Chains A and B, each alone.
Chain A
Amino acid sequence: MRTLYPHVEPWDSGMLRVSDLHELYYEQCGAPDGKAAVFLHGGPGGGCGDKHRRFFDPDRYRAVLFDQRGCGRSRPHAELKDNDTWALVEDIERLREHLDIDRWMVFGGSWGSTLALAYAIAHPSRVSELVLRGVFTFTTPELEWFYGGGTSALFPDAWDDFVGPLPAEERDDVIEAYHQRLTSADPEVQATFARSWSLYECRVATLRRDRSVDALCDDLSFTLPFARIEVHYFVNRGFLQDDQQLLRGAASLSTIPTTIVHGRYDVICPAKNAWQLKQMMPHADLQIIPEAGHSAFEPGIVDALVSATDRYASGDSAPR
């Protein structure tokens, strides 16, 4: 079973100004002359961590990681203005040009998979391969699953804690209810609801309960951008024309070698999302990982992702 590559430090990092308002943190790891890959984190608003560098063989990959608008080390912190899917897609292009990279592998999980699809559909000639995990295509049923009665079937306890702070009459539309509170003028209200929003997601992200997330959800520097930016994107339905846009667009990506890795017990983004995407991308290698939830760090998911990046580094892009 493959595991993550060892910890690495970046050999380059910096801030890239992408608009009057936004500046993005980025870093490069691995081999400066290696195969280029860009890592798109989840959330949106999740930011990158050290562990994300480790999906790529440091001897063979030039791995680029960056914090999307408003999160992680990017500035302004938790900023919602000029923060939408298409701005992020263009940020990826700005970064690519800034780093003088011609094309790159695009690797993303959860919201990162959504952004990866949007980017590949907009700029297919710049994408050498796609590696997607915990697929999310921003359809209405997907939002309803997580925020309205799918996940709650298996995690009624986590759901109760999530909706508990809301008055009964507002529980029919939790995204709207949380949106109001996460954009409140009162920072205490924002903080409280950022915590309960983040806890809900983190508690159900792994097959076996990972208690270390409780501490993460006490950290406002993580939860505030994470919750605010997520809810901003959800309220705006991902800034898509219609909720089939990404699935439709995926049908045009048949020349891009693609690996889709999805946990059987991913209750945040259920396996059906990956299944539907595969119907639109018949050439893709779909792997449903038994005994795995949503997190990229589930052992079975790490195995599949590292195997995929290794394969693509070897120049093997044929479907398995």
Chain B
Amino acid sequence: MEARPFRILGVQQVAIGALDRAALEHLWVELFGVAKRGEYTSESENVDESILVLGEPPFCVEIDLMQPLDPTKRPKVHQPALNHIGLWVDSLEAAVRWLQARQVRFTPGGIRKGAAGHDVCFVHPKGSDDAPNSGVGVLIELVQAPPALLDRSPPPSTQPPRGLYPALEPYVTGRLAVTDGHDLYYEECGDPNGKPVVFLHGGPGGGCADDHRRFFDPARYRIVLVDQRGSGRSTPHACLESNTTWDLVEDIERLRLHLGVDRWMVFGGSWGSTLALAYAQTHPSRVTELVLRGIFMARPRELHWFYQEGASQLYPDQFAPFVAHIPDDERHDLLRAYHRRLTADDEDTQREAARRWAGWELTTSTLRGPRGAPPGDSISEDDDLFAAALARIECHYFMNGAFFEPRDQLLRNIDAIRHIPGVIVQGRHDVVCPLQTAYELSRAWPEAEFQIIEDAGHSALEPGIIRALVNATDRFVGR
């Protein structure tokens, strides 16, 4: 499931019913010594209750000891005896909306004021046809937390997506001069004596981001990240000369030797999966495991799907600006049309083409779809630098079939890596690199573990995808 727009902060109350409130008080107040704060009576709720309080403010828990005013009338607050539990929620309205969308059944009445003046809403103990999700036998009261509680809890937006290890800094960063004037930025994080893993970013041309460090337990892994030729902090920026798949494969070997690593796990998504397969097929003895996401093998039908027709069927609105930029007579081959513009002498031509190219990819990468301002609105210089590398290098590689010969080279040479432990993680609703490619890879390589994440699009940061990837890297260090 994707990130929820609310958090359950704690237990707000436990409500217990009995025909005789005195018996409950005898146990809780006299024998347990729990403090009694007050009493409450309501005809409409058919209840006469004692309100006790446990724990320290602001997270104290209320214990309601309830007796029905009329045991023959509804609601029968003494049945069941453990009547309901209440939970503090930071954002009740968002929670109810989100849960209802996921077919959680609520009792009639919706959100209303509860006894203590907080807004409340009840999850029904039993499901229905339309809303099969329920309290599974338990009536659950969701209670809007007051400001005092909210101040004490970190806001949801700073919470990391579930499953990633915490943010960390590299213990070393460096530059490695490779061939043809290319100079690569790399960094190492985690445990210098840990199990080595190399992270291969996507694009090509995408560069590494801080979050990429976090798929690996930093206490167990020696995590190496490198910006491929022309990407990220490597120089010359967005340079297409001497920039091919096989240069990148040899760069990985140069880096491995430079770092004194004998063999390593290779982790890559999207173009990173392509490069990982190419590297492993060329240097199989250097690869301990392969963890791959959002599989791409750069074959003609895959490029046609994303850049000509395919993803455009599901995202016609986002595809429109991508096509609109190209005159009618060039639209039969959008890849070529963009290549012409991304390699033009004129900087303005390059910049606008790069924005459109990158925008198309960024708005189709997650299940939930584009968030925030569409590309083209207040683009920063950083955004343009990123788009330039991504667009130019991607287009260059794709115009050249990713330098594979034959085009399905990675499938044909699968025997070279069959013996390497492998995990393939693929989003069902990935429209950038559709499942078909991963499916074909898995059929050719049945020894690899193949996981289809039903609730996910292309991005590595889709919650279900993070979970599966971190699970894989954890397993490979025996967690």
Interface residues of A (CB under 8 A from B): 1, 3-4, 145, 150, 152-157, 207-209, 264-267, 270-272, 275-276, 288, 290-291, 299-300
Contact = CB atoms under 8 A, between A and B. Distances in A.
Interface stretch (B167-175, B261-269, B434-442): B434-442
B315 interface: yes
B79 to A, nearest CB: 26
Contacts of A265: 314, 367, 429
Contact of A299 (B103, B313, B430): B103
Interface of B: 2, 97, 100-103, 130-131, 305, 310, 312-317, 367-369, 428-431, 434-436, 439-440, 452, 454-455
A272 B314 contact: yes
Contacts of A291: 2, 367-368
Given A154-B428, A154-B429, A290-B369, A271 B314 contact: yes
B314 A270 contact: yes
Given A208-B454, A264-B369, A272 B316 contact: yes
A3 B439 contact: no
Contact of A152 (B315, B431, B436): B436
Nearest to B101: A299
Contacts of A275: 316-317
Contacts of B429: 154, 207, 265
B368 A153 contact: no
5 contacts: A152-B436, A153-B310, A154-B428, A275-B316, A300-B101
Contacts of A209: 454
Residue in B313, B368, B439, B455 with the greatest tally of chain A CB atoms within 10 Å: B313
B316 A156 contact: no
Contact of B436 (A4, A156, A266, A276): A156
Contacts of B428: 154-155
Contact of A156 (B100, B130, B435): B435
Contacts of A153: 305, 310, 434-436
A150 B315 contact: no
Nearest to A157: B439
A313 B310 CA distance: 38
B431 A1 contact: no
A206 to B, nearest CB: 11
A127 to B, nearest CB: 26
The 5 closest A-B pairs by CB, nearest first: A275-B316, A270-B313, A153-B434, A156-B439, A272-B316
Given A4-B130, A154-B429, 9 more contacts: A153-B436, A155-B428, A209-B454, A265-B367, A271-B316, A275-B316, A276-B316, A291-B368, A299-B103
Nearest to B366: A290
Contacts of B103: 299
A285 to B, nearest CB: 14
B435 A154 contact: yes
A145 B313 contact: yes
A272 B435 contact: no
B435 A155 contact: yes
Contacts of B315: 264, 271
Nearest to B439: A156
Contacts of B435: 153-156
Contacts of A270: 313-314, 316
A291 B102 CA distance: 11
A209 B455 CA distance: 10
Given A154-B431, A156-B436, A299-B101, A264 B454 contact: no
Residue among A154, A266, A291, A300 facing the most chain B CB atoms (10 A cut-off): A154
Nearest to B310: A153
B471 to A, nearest CB: 20
A153 B304 CA distance: 12
A272 B101 CA distance: 25
Contacts of B2: 291
Q: Name, among A1, A272, A290, the residue most crowded by chain B CB atoms within 10 Å (CB to CB).
A: A272
A223 to B, nearest CB: 22
A271 B318 CA distance: 11
Contacts of A154: 428-431, 434-436
B434 to A, nearest CB: 4
A274 to B, nearest CB: 8
A264 B314 contact: yes
Given A288-B317, A290-B368, A208 B436 contact: no
Nearest to A275: B316
B210 to A, nearest CB: 27
Nearest to A297: B130
B97 A1 contact: yes
A104 to B, nearest CB: 26
Contacts of A3: 100, 130-131
A276 B313 CA distance: 10
B316 A150 contact: no
Nearest to B429: A265
Contacts of A157: 439, 452
A135 B452 CA distance: 28
Nearest to B369: A290
B369 A272 contact: no
B312 to A, nearest CB: 7
A3 B110 CA distance: 13
A181 B315 CA distance: 35
Contacts of B100: 1, 3, 299
Contacts of A267: 314
Contacts of A155: 428, 435
